[in-house]
Structure 1
Amino acid sequence: MKIVSHCLKIAAGDKADDGLSLSRSDGLLWYKDVGKHSAGEFSMAVVQANYQMEDGCQIESGSLSSDEDVDAMNGTFVGIYDGHGGAEAARFITANLFLNLKEIVSEHKGISVDVLRKAFSTTEEGFLSLVREKWKRLPQLASVGSCCLIGVIFAGTLYVANVGDSRLVLGRLGGDGRGTIAVQMTTDHNVSDEAVRNELMSLHPHDSQIVVLKHNVWRVKGLIQISRSIGDAYLKDSQFNQEPLLAKFRLPQPFYKPVLSSDPSIITHKLSPREQFMIFASDGLWEHLSNQEAVDIVRFNPRAGIARRLIKHALMVAAKKREMRYSDLKKIGRGIRRHFHDDISVIVIFFDHLLITAAKCSFFLPEAPLIL
């Protein structure tokens, strides 16, 4: 199957580049209203708030193996990468994670929890090598990181791996066959959650400052809210927690084990006909919409443009919180916009269960190219 790629890679002030034609509305919002993937349709959108766009997102539909002779490995890959401290980590993940996954799938002749974990560790090692290489010239790269949420649909099974607080929510038909229930499929690795704080404290029993309440916000070492990420070398290796790194990132004492982890939470889930769609989104969406609110918006509106509609609803809530109109919020430029909302990336995946059933039954047979 031909690989069909949809990636939003946006630099500050630049147009989106996904290899296809993307639309743009208020100057900071890019979207593809509807497209096809191996198991149905999708909609994707991203809105910029920071001076530099720090999010990345992608869909890859086609072969999940780098071995061209393996026709069986056809599926869909979805990624949401919510960067912080800069755009470099999210861009690195966009450029490398899927390729790493394909290589490892080829080596292991299939997809598994171990394959996903290895894809994350290989990507992490690659970015830390880049930090090491540029340390003297660009020490600030050590303070750049990214959340990373991926989903793989293959042979009727959903594989999900996550570090950070981007979230995957499933829209599932209720037991009475009427309503659609929101089912959160991922864990938010954010220390605002008591369970995440407890996990960190159990891993660092001799560090009374491993989590600190600062200005009514819990932070790891008083610096960052997430407990897992790709990058953030300054909290994973003490060699990057010293000059010439900026003083505001440096810890007063050296550490002897990584403060943050790049080990993803992973689940596998057999898809059933009750499951209608999935919403992958960075935490900027979930800051303003509950899981059920987002699912209801998808359920009661047309598929085309639904990712853009979700972002619009989130921004309307953000504007209302500041007692302003959505139309006025749209006029605010990047950078200043960050005071009202975060960069937000959304991908909505719809299921065609006939395609999923066919994939379960015949994924060992070559298929015709998928062309949008």
Structure 2
Amino acid sequence: MNFDLPEETREMCDMVVRFASRDLQTSDTFDADDFRRRWQLAGKQGIVGASVPSAYGGSGLDAVATAAVMEALGYGCRDTGFAFSAAAHLFAAVMPIVEFGTEEQKHRLLPGLSSGEHIAAHCVTEPEAGSNALQLQTRATRSGEHYLLNGSKCFTTNAPVADVFVVQAATTPGGGFFGLTTFLVAAGTPGLTVGQRYDKLGLRGSPMADVYFDQCAVPVTDVLDGEGSGAGIFATSMRWERTCLFAAYLGAMKRVLDSTIDHVRQREQFGTPIGGFQSVSHRVVDMMARHESARLMLYKAAQGLADGRDDEIGPALAKIMVSEAAVQLGLDAVQLRGALGVLGGEAETLLRDAVPSRILSGTNEIQKNNAARALGLGSRAAARR
């Protein structure tokens, strides 16, 4: 086992950290024009198309190198919401086109999505279908050379700024795994409406909104991988998202851990730096152990993804480990800053941004279900016994 990234990857990550620290900072107030400006800059650096093959305008990185880029983005960009949006765009929306799209779809869509010219959103969650993704109420009915989409989606990352929507809809209601189909829908298509941007606890730099479909006509040529393949596409995209997206949290955690160490070295009480108190130093070591453990788990999952392994357990465990570590590290960072921790700053920002990580991309409880099912511990196996 080699735990060191190749020198070329390390140099690339150093560049991303410098770029993000210099060009991707923003205020806590969301501004759509500024978001688009920073997105285009990130596109020029190859970030929003990191794992897209170079033949379609991307950087052509494998899953390990892509995770490293996202980790560097999370470290350099204090706006974790922006990093989250970039990762959701790439892994939940763009990679399905890379892996399942026709050559026409790839050549038409991927260059703009990789360069930063266009932004993608993945529409799957519904008011009555969050964890239970196979029970979607959004319907797609074939009508000649089009499908008519009707229904609504909620909690859609990037919806207020998206140019392309990757939409999951039921073509065979009640059809289970083969009842869903994936559609590529351009912004501005008649019948597609985006609601108001949400105000959120955390990830405030990531725009999110509801999306509505009312007789929205989508050409048959914009179906991804054929009717009935939506659940398989969704499962593949989630392996990318649950692994590489959460690398951005590793970077944010490391940034806050570094600043926390600096703080406890400099802050004095009772005539000595508080880092010299055992209760403080042990808490810092616990923070480091959580971060390092989660990082190892994530990169193991990324290596499996790069090797093409059909592994459901690795991404699930990585998502759980990183998100739980991020929440606890945020709590510790706030505690070690005392009253300063509850004021505006990167410690309380990390904590706010970390709380959604246990819910988005499939709750941690669902990840445990996924891992248990892969181990043969599902309800059907129990019933047979």
Shorter chain as normaliser: what TM range?
A: under 0.3
**Higher relative contact order (CA closer than 8 Å, sequence separation 6+):** 1
Structure 1 length-normalised TM: 0.28
Structure with more strand by fraction:
1
TM-score by length of 2: 0.27
